A and B are shown apart, each in its own frame.
Chain A
């Protein structure tokens, strides 16, 4: 079966711009979570969506937002980009919201210049 698909794989944006990242979960998975990976910080939880509802949120500023569509695909948006937002953004899907059922995508590498 197809895995978790994240698009685009790479992105370069300028400070102050906004960006939208996309995540298509494994077919049948209803939960999508987003993580930010930066050197020295590991993976940090952004938010989780389950059946189109945000169920859990990490400690990120309001510039980071997301949504989930009825087909479980999810998008993440970052507005007013800062240099510190440069990171690998990973999404993970699971069938029923159990963290041990995660499958990660390959990520979107965002570079802010």
Chain B
């Protein structure tokens, strides 16, 4: 049972435009959400996170939006740069569950120059 879903395996965007990556979850107990970025042959690196008490968190070019009623979150990258080309994973956790993250299957973002 995939509790965190990224339904778009890939996304291609022109440099300078907005990239929107989407993530859906089914477990209403999740209360903390994270986005990770992964380059080939490297481990995932933390990008941005959001607590369930918020609906938006911004860090530079990256903004995460959370819609709890729809159990949906999205990552916006504006403007997109070629260096953003990577696989993006969303992940969810339940505070108090210890160090356990439930990941989506990832979306491969390609930013075209």
A residues at B contact (CB < 8 Å): 4, 31, 33, 35, 40-45, 48, 50, 55-56, 58, 90, 92, 94, 97-100, 102-107
Contact = CB atoms under 8 A, between A and B. Distances in A.
Nearest to B42: A106
Interface stretch (B12-20, B64-72, B76-84, B95-103): B95-103
A33 B101 CA distance: 10
A58 B36 CA distance: 20
26 contacts: A31-B99, A33-B100, A35-B101, A40-B105, A41-B105, A42-B89, A42-B105, A43-B91, A44-B103, A45-B102, A48-B98, A48-B99, A56-B99, A56-B100, A90-B43, A90-B44, A99-B32, A99-B34, A99-B99, A99-B100, A100-B34, A100-B46, A102-B101, A104-B36, A106-B41, A107-B43
Interface in B45-94: 45-46, 49, 89, 91, 93
A4 B46 CA distance: 14
Nearest to B41: A106
Contacts of A31: 99
B23 to A, nearest CB: 11
Contacts, number: 72
Contacts of B100: 33, 45, 48, 56, 58, 99
Contact of B99 (A4, A41, A102, A107): A102
A25 to B, nearest CB: 11
A110 to B, nearest CB: 14
B97 to A, nearest CB: 7
Contacts of B43: 4, 90, 92, 104-107
A4 B105 CA distance: 23
Contact of A102 (B46, B97, B102, B105): B46
